[in-house]
Homo-oligomer: A and B are copies of this chain.
């Protein structure tokens, strides 16, 4: 029986990965990491919702990055989340040091414990500019480490590593995923801020697919598109 562990934050990419991998494997388990980021709680609810929907066992792993002394504007503190384009230089402030390495390692230990053969991660091409632990080179090296470091030779698989976020959304929209039950905004308020890098990237991705983001009201969607167009300069003509 083919069994895999998926790291699912509750964002668009990892929820798409969850639905996609569910079709490839006999059994899937999902892990959501709560590492003390500002937006963790909102995402978590949706990760649980999507797992329940698919009948996937879901577990939250708590990691206290804040008290351990990890530094990032994404963690719960008074430091601001920058607005604007994801690839802009100030988005580097949101890097959580080696976050994917840590999540993948714990997921690997868990996978070994339950007899799974692989760990899936939903990182994508758009993440590369800022996050060194989202690159193809990193996930390949990590996969080598997990294969050598476990008796069951567990692999790391990140099938979206060469796709842009809008390509992933295209797959998910075809699969009929309800994206109103996903969360991306980094700010961690009741509603998405529409202006942080991850909000802008999400809006751009729905826009490029000719779809409205169903998480947003019509008013929010219009505001989100207006702001996105003010910072994304290479939109294709539609």
Contact = CB atoms under 8 A, between A and B. Distances in A.
A171 interface: no
A73 to B, nearest CB: 12
B142 A138 contact: no
6 contacts: A70-B109, A92-B151, A99-B109, A101-B146, A102-B105, A104-B105
Nearest to A72: B113
Interface string A47-83: 0000000000001011111001111000000000000
Nearest to A29: B69
Given A59-B68, A98-B108, A105-B102, A132 B113 contact: no
A100 B70 CA distance: 19
Interface band, chain A? 35 or more
A7 to B, nearest CB: 13
Contacts of A104: 105
A148 B133 CA distance: 7
A234 to B, nearest CB: 25
Interface string A110-139: 101110000000000000000011010110
B97 A102 contact: no
Nearest to A31: B68
Given A70-B113, A101-B108, A105-B101, A141 B144 contact: yes
A109 B105 CA distance: 12
A113 B102 CA distance: 14
Contact of A148 (B64, B105, B141): B141
A68 B145 contact: no
Q: Which of A61, A106, A138: most chain B Cβ within 10 A?
A: A106
A101 B68 contact: no
Given A97-B108, A102-B106, A133 B149 contact: yes
For the complex of A and B, 8 pairs with smallest distance between CB atoms: A97-B112, A133-B149, A98-B109, A141-B145, A105-B105, A97-B109, A71-B113, A141-B144
A150 interface: yes
A101 B149 contact: yes
Nearest to A95: B151
A2 to B, nearest CB: 19
A141 B132 contact: no
A96 interface: yes
